[in-house]
Structures are given as C-alpha cells and as structure tokens.
C-alpha cells in the first residue's frame, strides 16, 4: 500500500512493506518496484537519502521487515505507482484459504484455466495445450489477472508459475501464492522430493519398462534439446523412467507413463527421439505423423505440502482432445481406468505393469 505526501514542492510516495517482503534485501525489492529506474540511480538515491526506510537512510543490503515504510521521491516512484507495483502487489495469503473444489477462470487469452488445488501458499492449475507458461498472454499472465483484485501484501512479490511446461504440453503447474510458498517449493525441488508423472503417446512399440539416462544439450539456435556423448560441453543429465501402459503394434504406438527424475527443457521429447521413438505427432523431434503430440503432466506428488497447498497429490484431468484420442485408439474403458489409476493415493510401478499386461493389442 502507498500514500502520497507533499512537503512544499517536494512530493514523496510512501510504500508499506508486507509479509512477503520480510527478509528481502532493500535493493532487490526496489529493483522490482522501480523497473524503469536504472540500478545506479537507485543506489544513488539510497546513498543521498532520497530513498529512506522508516524515515532513515538505509543501505541496499538492508533486510526488510514487514510493516516498514519506504519513502521514495515521486519522480522515481512514478513507474511503481502507474505500473501497479504498489497497492496491487501480491495478495493476502490468509484470505485464500484451502479450496477443495475445482473451479475455472477464463481471461483474454481465450483459454479456460482450471484450478486444481488452492492453499495459503501454493496454487495448482491445469495448463491447457497451446498456452505458454511465461510471457505475454501466458499462464503467468492469467495467474496475475486471476489475483489482481486480492488485497496487496507485498511490494515486490507476484503470484507466478514456479516451473514450466512447453506450450504443447498440458497438465499440472504449481504457482506461488506467497514468497514462503515459492521458497518451500524450490527447496522441495532441490531436494528431489517432488515427483512428476506424465502421460505420453510414443510413436513406437515399447514392450517393457525402461530407465533412460542421457546427457542432454540445449541448442539455443534451433531451440532443440539433443542427446550427446558424456563428454559434451555444457551438457546436463536427464533421467526418467518409462512404463508402457497399452500398445497397438499395427499402428506402431504406445501409451506410456513417464516418471520424471530430472527437469530439463524438452527432456522427454529429446530422450524418446534419441531412441527412435519420438512422441507420436512431434514433428520437431522426428515424428512423421500429423501433430499434435500428446504429452500431459498428469500427476504431481509433493510430500509435506499439506500446509502449502492443502494436499500432497494433485492430478490433472486429460484435455478433451487427448481423451478423445485415447478412446479412439485404446477404447473408452482404458481411458476411464487410466484416470482411476492416476488418482490413487499411491502410484506404484507394480500397478503400472499390471495395467499394461491387460491392455496389449
């Protein structure tokens, strides 16, 4: 929140920090608040006392406490006031609560956003196919719009996606509802406590479960990820497990569950293509079938997230196009039983193998 104070001809703008600003460096918060002000100008304003905290000079490394008042001259604060950094930043976590029912939101992207779970610190959404995670008219844009009317509690924090899915990939994406949620989710990712399951249609016949471990290199010019030798410069390790669920040998396709152990750009698509088994319809990675490809982030497991999200397992229903495709290829019974399998409290590889043994054609 902010207020404008006039002292003779000097106009100052007062910003009050919120809970999600707690512990953050002053200079970093100011950079988010004043995106059009050059960084040297911000430091100069701090050094000369034009920007003050609690009416005292402060250094850039000052750690903010919730409820502190930051005073900024109007000529510098103009971008923050007109750009919405003050008064509309963040939102009150306590007002969000924990939502058990699903609801949807539609914005000017023309796409329908399904909220899968909503807690005091995290939000789980079902990203539709064709929607980018970040950038203009993206999931990030939808999330910001969805919470634009919630009371401000931060000068620099914004609700936003905490990981990404490709534009052509649908499914579970976790978004931050507070700075605490963002930090806790990042910690869970770093400690590999988050498990992600994908459903994919492969353009080959895969008979048995497989463990794929490769070195991956991202080609920035082409925008593609390639499997390279272990000595490849700048390469990163990609690890995943693949469980075939149903096969149609005459069509050369396999419906599979993929457990992602590392998160690399285009990882599933690149590792499948390297084995001569690109996603069915994935033209960029070597498929000769008509697009689109089917890659759906169907399930995300996050132990200990009850206080963050309200639940530990989130399952994203299949898009209508994917459901229709699976029913056409494998039958409506397979699609219904597949959904039941992924909504179990525990998704055991043994259950996946048992599911597969009954559905080979």
Could you tell me if 107 and 59 lie in one domain?
no
pTM of this prediction exceeds 0.75: yes
* pLDDT band, very low/low/confident/very high, at 110 (cuts 50, 70, 90): low
Mean pLDDT of 231-236: 76
For residue 107, what pLDDT is reported?
A: 55
Q: What is the CATH number of the domain that holds 32?
A: 3.10.290.10
Look up residue 182 and give its two tokens.
């963002």
Half-sphere exposure of 288 (CA within 13 A, CB side): 4
- For 328, the 3-state DSSP assignment is helix
Look up residue 84 and give its two tokens.
């919405």
Is residue 317 in a domain?
A: no
Most confident option among 5-19, 49-63, 104-118? 49-63
Could you tell me if 212 and 348 lie in one domain?
yes
Could you tell me if 23 and 56 lie in one domain?
yes
Is residue 273 in a domain?
A: yes
Residue 230, pLDDT > 70, answer: yes
Mean pLDDT of 253-258: 97
Could you tell me if 213 and 341 lie in one domain?
yes
Q: What is the pLDDT of residues 41-55, one digit of tens each?
A: 999 999 999 999 988
Could you tell me if 29 and 150 lie in one domain?
no
Which of 135, 170, 190 is a domain's end point? 190
Is residue 201 in a domain?
A: yes
Is residue 353 in a domain?
A: yes
Is residue 312 in a domain?
A: no
Could you tell me if 240 and 336 lie in one domain?
yes
What's the mean pLDDT when you consider all of the chain?
84
Could you tell me if 100 and 67 lie in one domain?
no
In what helix (H) or strand (E) does residue 179 lie, and over which residues does it extend? helix 179-190
Could you tell me if 172 and 244 lie in one domain?
no
Q: What is the CATH number of the domain that holds 344?
A: 3.30.2350.10
Is residue 313 in a domain?
A: no
Q: What is the CATH number of the domain that holds 156?
A: 3.30.70
* pLDDT band, very low/low/confident/very high, at 72 (cuts 50, 70, 90): confident
Q: What is the pLDDT of residues 3-32, one digit of tens each?
A: 544 443 456 777 888 888 889 999 999 988
Contact 272, 202 (CB under 8 A): yes
Is residue 240 in a domain?
A: yes
Could you tell me if 186 and 200 lie in one domain?
no
Which of 83, 118, 142 is a domain's end point? 83
For residue 231, what pLDDT is reported?
A: 66
Residue 78, pLDDT > 90, answer: no
Could you tell me if 134 and 239 lie in one domain?
no
- For 53, the 3-state DSSP assignment is strand
* pLDDT band, very low/low/confident/very high, at 186 (cuts 50, 70, 90): confident
For residue 75, what pLDDT is reported?
A: 78
Q: Which residue has the higher pLDDT, 160 or 223?
A: 223
Contact 292, 168 (CB under 8 A): yes
* Number of domains within the chain: 3
Could you tell me if 343 and 210 lie in one domain?
yes
* pLDDT band, very low/low/confident/very high, at 83 (cuts 50, 70, 90): very low
Could you tell me if 218 and 125 lie in one domain?
no
Q: Which candidate, 65, 58, 82, 89, places its Cα nearest to that of 4?
A: 82
Weakest mean pLDDT among 94-98, 125-129, 263-267, 303-307: 94-98
For residue 294, what pLDDT is reported?
A: 98
Most confident option among 139-148, 272-281, 342-351? 272-281
Q: What is the pLDDT of residues 318-347, one digit of tens each?
A: 999 999 999 999 999 999 999 999 999 899
Is residue 90 in a domain?
A: no
- Gap between the Cα atoms of 164 and 169, Å rounded: 10
- Gap between the Cα atoms of 216 and 266, Å rounded: 10
Which of 36, 63, 83 is a domain's end point? 83
Domain boundaries, position 129: 95-190
């Amino acid at each position: 929140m902010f207020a404008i104070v006039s002292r003779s001809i000097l106009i100052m703008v007062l910003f009050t920090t919120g809970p999600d600003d707690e512990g953050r460096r002053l200079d970093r918060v100011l950079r988010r608040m004043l995106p059009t002000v050059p960084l040297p100008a911000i430091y100069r304003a701090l050094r000369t006392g034009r920007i003050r905290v609690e009416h005292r000079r402060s250094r850039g490394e000052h750690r903010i406490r919730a409820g502190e008042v930051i005073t900024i001259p109007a000529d510098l604060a103009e971008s923050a006031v007109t750009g919405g950094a003050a008064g509309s930043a963040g939102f009150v976590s306590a007002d969000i609560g924990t939502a058990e029912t699903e609801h949807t939101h539609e914005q000017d992207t023309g796409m329908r956003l399904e909220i899968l779970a909503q807690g005091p610190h995290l939000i789980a959404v079902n990203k539709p196919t064709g929607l980018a995670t970040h950038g203009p008219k993206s999931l990030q844009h939808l999330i910001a719009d969805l919470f634009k009317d919630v009371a401000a509690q931060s000068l620099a924090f914004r609700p936003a996606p905490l990981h990404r899915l490709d534009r052509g990939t649908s499914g579970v994406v976790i978004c931050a509802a507070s700075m605490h949620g963002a930090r806790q989710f990042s910690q869970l990712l770093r400690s590999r406590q988050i498990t992600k399951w994908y459903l994919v249609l492969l353009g080959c016949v895969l008979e048995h479960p497989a463990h794929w471990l490769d070195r991956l290199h991202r080609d920035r010019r082409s925008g593609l990820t390639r499997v390279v030798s272990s000595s490849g410069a700048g390469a990163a390790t990609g690890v995943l497990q693949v469980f075939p669920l149903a096969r149609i040998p005459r069509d050369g396709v396999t419906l599979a569950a993929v457990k992602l152990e590392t998160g690399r750009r285009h990882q599933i698509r690149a590792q499948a293509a390297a084995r001569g088994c690109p996603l069915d319809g994935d033209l960029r990675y070597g498929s000769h079938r008509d697009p689109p490809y089917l890659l759906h982030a169907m399930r995300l497991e996050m132990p200990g997230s009850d206080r963050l999200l309200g639940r530990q397992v989130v399952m994203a229903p299949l898009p209508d196009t994917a459901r229709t495709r699976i029913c056409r290829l494998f039958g409506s019974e397979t699609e219904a039983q597949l959904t039941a399998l992924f909504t179990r409290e525990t998704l055991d590889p043994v259950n996946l193998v048992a599911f597969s043994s009954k559905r080979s054609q």
